[in-house]
Structure 1
Amino acid sequence: MPTPDSPAPTRSPPPRALGRWALIAFAVGGLAAAFGYAAGPLDPHRLIPKRIVDTLQNNGGLHPGYRRNHAKGVCVIGRFDSNGRAAAYSKAALFAPGRTPLVGRFALPGGNPYAPDGGVSIRSFALRLTQADGQQWRTGMNNMPVFPVATPQAFFEQLQAGAPDPATGKPDPEKQKAFFASHPETAAFRAWAKDRKPSASYATEAYYGLNAFYFVDAGGHRHAVRWRVVPDNGAAAAPLSAQDQDVLARELNQRLAQGPLRWRLLVTLAAPGDPTADATQVWPADRPQIDAGTVVIERAQSQDDGECRDINYDPLILPDGIIASDDPLLPARSAAYADSYRRRTAEEAHAGGRPPQEAHR
C-alpha cells in the first residue's frame, strides 16, 4: 500500500526474510495493499481496517514509523503534462492542457523496509497530483495487470494464507495452495506472477491502476475508466537475483542523472457490461483508449525525509471530475491506509520524530 517512512531512530532491525510467494501472497497491492474492510463492529463475519493492518503487520514484522505495506521505497518529484485529450471525458482541471505538479513514490510490496529488491517481482508507483485550486488526485498503481482477488474478504484470507509459520519464518505452502485452489479468480494473477522476473529498474515498468473509476465530464455524464502509465525510458535492465539489495533506488538515480523519466498516461474507456467491481478481470483489448499526457519524473528523494514521506496515497482522494466506482476494494483500501497512517505517525510522535507534514484527509 503506498505510504511513508520514519526517521532512522525509530527503525527496527531486519526480520527473517520471507519468500517470494509470501510477499506476493500478502502484499500485492498497491494499489495497493490493505484491502480488507467492512463497516460495523468486529465479529467473525465482518472486517474492519484494524484486522487487515494487524495481519499485514504480523506478516511483515513491526517496524515503527513505516508503512505496514510497501514499506521500502523512494520519493520522486515531477509533473503531469496534459495534452488536453482527456478533458472531453473529465472536467478535472489537471486534464486541461498544461502542467500539474506531482509527488510520487516507487516501492516494493511488504512491510519489511530492509527487504531485498529481488525478492519479489511486484513494484508500485503512487502519485499525488495537486491542481492550482488545491484539489488533489491520488492514485496507487502496480506493475501487474490484474489484482489476484475481487473482494476485501478474499484479500484478508490471502493475507492469512501467507502468514509466516513461527517455526520456519515462512508461509505454509499447503495453506497457500488451499487458498489458491478455493479462489479460481486468482488464475490470471498467478499466470502473470509465475514467470515474472524481478526487474532491476522502476523506470522500465508499466503500472496499472487496476480498480475502475468514473470520469465525469462538464455535462455531468459518467464514463467508466481504468488507467495505466506506460514507460518511455529505454531498455529494461536485467532481472535481479533474489537477494539483490538496494539496486532499484541506485538505478533510478543513475537514470535521473541523465535526464527526466517519462510515462504516458493511458486511460481505457469501458463498454456497457464491462465489470467495474472486479479487479481480477481485464477489459477487452479493443476498448477505446485515450493518451491523456505524460507523467514526468525529474528527481528522486530519500523516503526518510522526502516529500512523499508523510503522504497517504488514499485512492479516494479525488478532484471534481473523477469519482469512485462500485469496486469494493476502493473503500477498503482507503480505510486501511488511514489506519496504517495513524499508526506510523503515532509511532513517530512517541519516538520524538518530527511531526508529519500532512494529515490524512
Structure 2
Amino acid sequence: MTHARIQTQVQTKVRRSLSGCALLGAALLAAAAPASAQGAPPQDAASTAEQTIATMTKIFGDHPGKRSNHAKGVVVEGRFTASKEAASLSKASVFSGAAVPVTARFSDSTGVPQIPDGAPDANPHGLAIKFKPADGSEMDVVTNSLKFFPVATGEEFRDLLVAITRSGPDAQKPTPVEQFMAAHPAAPKALATAKTPSSFGRQTYNGVNAFVLVDAAGKRNPFRYRIVPVAGEELLSAEDAKAKGPNYLLEEMPARLAQGPVAFRVLAQIAQAGDATKDSTIPWPEDRRLVDLGTLTLTQAVPDSESAEKALLFMPNNLPDGVEVSDDPLIDARVQAYAISFGRRSQ
C-alpha cells in the first residue's frame, strides 16, 4: 500500500468521522486493548488483544516488522539517577541512587511508519523507557503526551475502534464515532490535550495508568508518572508543525544528542485517598504531591534504530520488587496487545 493511499485512509476514516473533535493517532494510542466485537459475548484477554491488533491493521494497513501502533520511532540510550526521596518511597533497586543504564524509544502515534512527524495524526507522541539496574531487575515505563486517556476500559476502547471503522465519509449522521464521543465526554477532552512539539526532548510525557510504589516497610503509594523536559516544553502551532519536514522529530533527536545530553525529570504524582486508580479518564487534581524520582539523561542515539526498535519490547507489568501494578484494567490489556504485536513483527 502506498504512502498516499495510507494517508488518504487515515484522513477519510478519521478526520471526517470525528468532525474535528479528535484524531486517529490520539484515539489509537497503544494504551488499551478492546474486547470482543460490539454485541458479541465477552472473550478472554488474548482474544481481546488479537481483535485489537486486527482492527489496527485494518485501519493502518499491514506493515511487517513494525509495531501495530506507534510504528514510527527512534531509539536512544542514557542513564537514570534516582533522587534520595525516591528511595524512601520504593525499595526497587532502580531507585537506590546508583546510575542505571536505560534504553528509550520516542515515537509517533498510528501504525503508519511513513506518517509525517508534524501531522496531527502523529499525536500523541510516546516515550517508553527500559531501566536496566545491575541486579537484573528490569523496569519498563510506557508514557505518552496525553494528559489522561480517552476511555476507562478495554470494552470502551473496543467500541471506539469499531466506531472508527464504521464511520467513513458515507456513514449516516451522526456517525458511530460521533455517537461514541457524545456518550463518552472524557474522550474528546483527552484527545484535545495532544500537541506537536519542536523536539521529542521538549515535550512532557504522562503515565495515564496508575502504579504503586512500595517502600521497605510495605507502605504503598499509588502514583502516576510525569516525565518533564529539563529544557522546558515547547509546542508548535498546527501551522508550524505542518511546515516541518516529514521526519523532523526523528532526525532532530540524534542531532540534538550529538551536541549534548537531553534530560528529563521523572516525577511521581502521588494519589490521595479517593483518587481513582482504575479509571484512566480521570486526571488527579494538580494540587496532588509531585515527587521528584530522579533524572533521566539521554546521551546518544543507537547506531541502528530500526533494528533496535524491532527487538525492543516494553511491557507495563515488567516491574521490580518495589513497584506494582494498580487495579487499572488497561494495564493488563496493554500487556496482552503488546505481546501479540511483538510476536507479529518478530516473524
TM-score w.r.t. structure 2 length?
A: 0.86
Superposition deviation, residue 263 in structure 1: 0.4
Which amino acid letter does the alignment assign opposite residue 153 of structure 1? E
Which amino acid letter does the alignment assign opposite residue 224 of structure 2? R
Superposition deviation, residue 110 in structure 1: 0.7
Which amino acid letter does the alignment assign opposite residue 24 of structure 1? L
Indicate the residue corresponding to 1:16 in structure 2. 6
Superposition deviation, residue 191 in structure 1: 4.0
Indicate conservation of the 8 Å contact 2:65/2:310, yes or no: no
Aligned pair 1:114/2:110, yes or no?
no
Superposition deviation, residue 65 in structure 1: 1.1
Could you list the per-position Cα deviations for residues 137-161 of structure 1 after superposition, in whole angstroms to 9, with x for gaps in the alignment? 1111001111111000111111122
Alpha-carbon distance change, 131 to 75 in structure 1, aligned in 2, over 3 angstroms? same
Could you list the per-position Cα deviations for residues 118-138 of structure 1 after superposition, in whole angstroms to 9, with x for gaps in the alignment? 222311000000111111111
Indicate the residue corresponding to 1:245 in structure 2. 246
Could you list the per-position Cα deviations for residues 25-59 of structure 1 after superposition, in whole angstroms to 9, with x for gaps in the alignment? 465465x3342258xxx981225211111001111
Which amino acid letter does the alignment assign opposite residue 159 of structure 1? L
Q: State which of 227, 230, 246 in structure 2 corresponds to 1:229.
A: 227
Q: State which of 33, 40, 47 in structure 2 corresponds to 1:44.
A: 40
Indicate the residue corresponding to 2:78 in structure 1. 78
- Aligned Cα root-mean-square deviation (Å): 2.7
Segment of structure 1 superposing worse, 270-279 or 244-253: 244-253
Cα distance between partner residues in 1 of 2:98 and 2:272 = 29
Could you list the per-position Cα deviations for residues 59-85 of structure 1 after superposition, in whole angstroms to 9, with x for gaps in the alignment? 110001111000000001111111221
Cα distance between partner residues in 2 of 1:165 and 1:181 = 14
Cα distance between partner residues in 2 of 1:258 and 1:173 = 51
- Count of equivalent residues: 327
Indicate the residue corresponding to 1:215 in structure 2. 213
Map 1:1-361 → 2, pairs under 5 A: 13-14=2-3, 15-17=5-7, 18-19=10-11, 21=15, 24-25=23-24, 28=27, 30=29, 32-37=30-35, 44-47=40-43, 48-120=48-120, 121-163=123-165, 174-193=175-194, 196=195, 198-233=196-231, 236=234, 238=236, 239-241=240-242, 244-301=245-302, 302-306=304-308, 308-346=309-347
Indicate conservation of the 8 Å contact 1:27/1:70, yes or no: no
Superposition deviation, residue 262 in structure 1: 0.4
Could you list the per-position Cα deviations for residues 79-111 of structure 1 after superposition, in whole angstroms to 9, with x for gaps in the alignment? 111122111111100111121111110001111
Secondary structure at the aligned position of 1:154 is classed as helix
Indicate conservation of the 8 Å contact 1:24/1:122, yes or no: no
Secondary structure at the aligned position of 2:305 is classed as coil
Secondary structure at the aligned position of 2:200 is classed as coil
Alpha-carbon distance change, 159 to 62 in structure 1, aligned in 2, over 3 angstroms? same
Alpha-carbon distance change, 317 to 242 in structure 1, aligned in 2, over 3 angstroms? farther
Indicate conservation of the 8 Å contact 1:74/1:249, yes or no: yes
Which amino acid letter does the alignment assign opposite residue 71 of structure 1? A
Q: Gaps (5+ residues) in structure 2?
A: none
Secondary structure at the aligned position of 2:102 is classed as strand
Cα distance between partner residues in 1 of 2:246 and 2:275 = 41
Alpha-carbon distance change, 320 to 167 in structure 1, aligned in 2, over 3 angstroms? same
Could you list the per-position Cα deviations for residues 283-308 of structure 1 after superposition, in whole angstroms to 9, with x for gaps in the alignment? 111111211110111111343123x4
Superposition deviation, residue 234 in structure 1: 5.2
Identity of counterpart residues, as a percentage?
35
Segment of structure 1 superposing worse, 208-217 or 175-184: 175-184
Cα distance between partner residues in 2 of 1:127 and 1:35 = 20
Deviant stretches of 4+, over 6 Å: 164-168
Cα distance between partner residues in 2 of 1:133 and 1:313 = 19
Cα distance between partner residues in 2 of 1:297 and 1:334 = 26
Cα distance between partner residues in 2 of 1:253 and 1:164 = 40
Indicate conservation of the 8 Å contact 1:33/1:69, yes or no: no
Could you list the per-position Cα deviations for residues 291-337 of structure 1 after superposition, in whole angstroms to 9, with x for gaps in the alignment? 1110111111343123x431111101101101100001000000011
Indicate conservation of the 8 Å contact 2:32/2:331, yes or no: no
TM-score w.r.t. structure 1 length?
A: 0.83
Indicate conservation of the 8 Å contact 2:145/2:204, yes or no: yes
